[in-house]
Structure 1
Amino acid sequence: MSQTIVNLRYMVDDVEAAVEWYTKHLRFSLISSHAPAFADIKRGSLRLLLSGPTSSAGRPMPDGEQPLPGGWNRIHLIVDDLPADVASLRIAGVQFPNDIVTAPGGSQILLVDPSGNLVELFQPARS
């Protein structure tokens, strides 16, 4: 089965703030918004579902556990010039919990969306 779009859901505290952040800083485009409950945005073949506390995905589990934003799972976006992207995002006030890390496969850094979800920017090593 072949699919050209990959869907990923992030729980967010504020759907409108999340849409603004992803479209402004990471070049996502808005597909639809049903704020304050839900919006979906797209970058390339990634469709990101932003689900707020009042969305159906925000409902508690039968045992009472509540879906929350954050954690170590993250979107991994490939970029061409990591230092330049980081510099412009820092000027824009985006939060980074670490500095650029370089390894044999490339360089990466994490940034944090308004709800505490992580996004990884990754520049592959040049061959």
Structure 2
Amino acid sequence: MLRRDDLRLLLNTPGGGGGAGQPMRDGTMPVPGGWNRIQIEVDDLDATVDALRRHDIALRSEIIQGNGGRQVVADDPSGNPIELFEPRRGD
């Protein structure tokens, strides 16, 4: 993770430790430049996913558990990937 003022840039590699490097259900792996996305932090990922499904929003995967928290990727109306991320809370 890189930070500068209020900007936080998260970097990951295919097969890396975070959820962003994990394959999709169909086995598709991330490729350089192919999975760039905006990340929106949410407080309750399960409730957010339920609401998206009630509105027939397609998700690229089920919820994925990574080192820093849980995430799911949806497509915006233009087909751009949007990651919804719930950070891991203190144990």
Quick check: TM above 0.5?
yes
Which 5+ residue runs of structure 2 have no aligned equivalent?
8-33
* Structure 1 Cα separation of the partners of residues 46 and 53 of structure 2: 10
- Partners of 1:3 and 1:104 lie apart in 2 by 24
**What's the offset of the Cα at 1:4?**
6.8
User: What's the secondary structure of 1:115's corresponding residue?
Assistant: coil
Q: In 2 relative to 1, CA 91–106 (structure 1 residues): closer, same or farther, beyond 3 Å? A: same
Could you report, residue by residue, the CA deviation over 1:39-97 in whole angstroms, capped at 9, with x for unpaired residues?
xxxxxxxxxxxxxxxxxxxxxxxxxxxxxxxx421110000000000000110011101
Q: How many Å apart are 1:103 and its aligned residue? A: 2.1
Which structure dedicates a bigger proportion of its chain to helix? 1
Pick from 64, 85, 89 the counterpart of residue 122 of structure 1: 85
* Aligned residue type for 1:123: E
Deviation at 1:117, TM superposition (A): 0.5
Question: Of 65, 80, 97, which residue of structure 1 is paired with 2:60?
Answer: 97
Kindly indicate whether residue 69 of structure 2 is the aligned counterpart of residue 106 of structure 1. yes
Is 2:46 the counterpart of 1:83?
A: yes
TM-score by length of structure 2 reads 0.60
Q: Which is richer in strand?
A: 1
4+ runs deviating over 4 angstroms: 2-5
- Secondary structure of residue in 1 paired with 2:53: helix
Question: Could you tell me how far 1:3 is from its partner in structure 2?
Answer: 7.5
Sequence identity (%): 44
Task: Give the gaps of 5 or more residues in structure 1.
Answer: 6-70
